[in-house]
Amino acid sequence: MPSAPNALRVTQVNTNTARLDWTDNSANASRLVITSRTGEYPVQAGSTTMNVGGHSPDQAYCFTIFAVNTAGRSAGGGDCVTIRSMDPVAASGPR
């Protein structure tokens, strides 16, 4: 099994997109996979960042990252990282 990526964190959130960053610890992974309730997002092995879009405003989303190779899928790369997408009215600031 490949080593799990870790230190998954959210570095930017807007109304429908989150930027995720992590540390890739798996030299033997063929790909990475980020999962959430909206689906799975394939990521190129060796990558350490991804923008994930398509979120509804003011909703919570939980992301977990895994490494994958021919032996299978790693354990989850740490705890679930939760984001709350921004309400577009609140994101625009006072008027």
Q: What is the mean pLDDT of residues 4-17?
A: 83
C-beta of residue 6 within 8 angstroms of C-beta of residue 64? no
Four-residue CA torsion sign, 66, 49, 22, 24: positive
Q: Residue 30 — very low, low, confident or very high, per pLDDT cuts 50/70/90?
A: very high
Q: What is the mean pLDDT of residues 14-26?
A: 85
How many CB atoms are located within 10 Å of the residue 22 CB?
23
C-beta of residue 20 within 8 angstroms of C-beta of residue 7? no
pLDDT digits (tens, 9 = 90+) for 48-80: 999 988 877 777 888 889 999 999 999 876 667
